[in-house]
Amino acid sequence: MTLRRIRLELARDHDYPNGSRDRGYDFIAPLDDKGHLLAAEWKKERERCRVKRFWAGEKDEIGHLVHKPGGAWAFDYDPNTAADDEKGFKFDRHNFVPGEYVSITEHDGVMRTFFIKAVVDLD
């Protein structure tokens, strides 16, 4: 198991036809060799599994990657409420490797697609 830093950038959509390098997420997570999230390793390293949401024109948000009951994964910015959580769509099944795409339901309730720009080892 290796902790890895994963950078997601907004993929093309109707508002951003070329995508956006200035909108996305940078987070740390334990991944296996195929790029799958490892829940058991996350439990051991959960404090290190941080996320930064960056969005042009807005203040960066800092939080944690969390593993929810039932197996879902989310980004949590305030542990006192679930209202701010941003849920990853089928993160438990995705391979976090450069060139792939993932979707996240953001604060505003809109699901957006992100391009996996980079995955680098931390250790």
> What digits encode the pLDDT tens for the residues 21-73?
999 999 999 999 999 999 999 999 999 999 999 999 999 999 999 998 888 99
> What digits encode the pLDDT tens for the residues 75-105?
999 888 777 889 999 998 899 999 999 999 9
Residue 1's pLDDT is 57
Residue 22's pLDDT is 95
Q: Rounded to whole angstroms, what are the CA distances from 45 to 93, 107, 113?
A: 20, 25, 27
Taking the C-alpha atoms of residue 100 and residue 45, their distance in angstroms, rounded to an integer, is 25
Taking the C-alpha atoms of residue 54 and residue 45, their distance in angstroms, rounded to an integer, is 23
Q: Per residue in 8-26, is it b (16+ CB within 10 Å) or e — as a string?
A: bbbbeeeeeeebbeebbbb
Residue 123's pLDDT is 64
> What number of residues does the chain have?
123
Residue 108's pLDDT is 86
pTM: 0.93
